[in-house]
Amino acid sequence: MRRRSDVPYKVVRSSSGMPRVAIGDREFSPQEISAMVLQR
């Protein structure tokens, strides 16, 4: 099992209270991450 510090992203809360995935200086919704995976 990986520790939180071992992954290159963070899960944060958006201003509306929804979860977002922060990678570098950008934030993505779970739906955006799914779309990126399906495009490949």
pLDDT per residue of the chain (40 residues) written in tens, 0 to 9: 667 678 889 999 999 999 999 999 999 999 999 999 999 8
17 HSE (CA, 13 A, CB side): 0
Where in the chain are the domains? 4-39
Give the DSSP letter of residue 11.
Answer: E
Q: Do residues 4 and 12 make contact, with C-beta atoms less than 8 angstroms apart?
A: no
Instruction: Give the pTM.
Output: 0.69
Beta bridge partners of residue 26, listed in sequence order: 23
